[in-house]
Amino acid sequence: MRNLFEALEPVFARPEMYVGAEDYERVIALVVGFDLASQGGALVGFREWLVVRNDGPANAAWPELVRDGASKASTPPPVCETGVSQREMIGELAELLRLFMLEREKRGVRSIFLDFQGWVARQDWYAPGGPDWHPVVPKA
């Protein structure tokens, strides 16, 4: 069975053919629709993987994490509000999904969530007494 990246690779290569324009937001809508059709299974762990990769923020949705990561590493021409062109944003999304799928297939979803849990535990705002605090049990 093909993974999400393999299924969407033609969309990333020629977005105007699938969503009518070379537009990051339209491609995001298609990816979200694909994920919804899979009952959330296609992208499970993607947001958490991006949070660890970008070193936060923990409260952002994955499209914003992709945009934030791209804007940190880019040079204009400005087209999006982040100063990154639509083509670059779509390319960044494609590359991140490709890397995520490779890691998820190699290490599994559990490892991605354990990495995220470790990242959360290292944050200053995650402390005993907080409403979302759960102790991290070290491996034996």
Q: What is the pLDDT along the chain (140 residues), one digit of tens a residue?
A: 467 778 889 899 999 999 999 999 999 999 999 899 988 888 999 999 999 999 989 899 999 999 887 666 544 433 455 556 888 999 999 999 999 999 999 999 999 999 999 999 888 887 777 666 666 666 65
In the prediction, which pLDDT does 80 show? 53
Cα 102 to its chain centre, rounded Å, is: 13
In the prediction, which pLDDT does 13 show? 92
Query: For the chain, how many residues are written?
Result: 140
Q: What is the dihedral of CA 106, 48, 53, 71, to 10 degrees?
A: 130
In the prediction, which pLDDT does 75 show? 43
User: What predicted TM-score, i.e. pTM, was given to this entire model?
Assistant: 0.80
What are φ and ψ of residue 3, in 5° steps? -85, 175
- Interatomic CA distance for residues 2 and 97, integer angstroms: 13
In the prediction, which pLDDT does 55 show? 92
Longest CA span, the chain: 53
In the prediction, which pLDDT does 77 show? 38
In the prediction, which pLDDT does 5 show? 78
In the prediction, which pLDDT does 128 show? 72
71: CB partners within 8 A, 6+ apart: 82, 83, 84
* C-alpha to C-alpha distances, 117 to 50, 122, 139, nearest whole angstrom: 13, 9, 13
Plot region of 56 (φ>0 → left; ψ -120 to 50 → alpha; else → beta): left
Cis geometry, peptide bond prior to residue 78 (ω within 30 degrees of 0): no
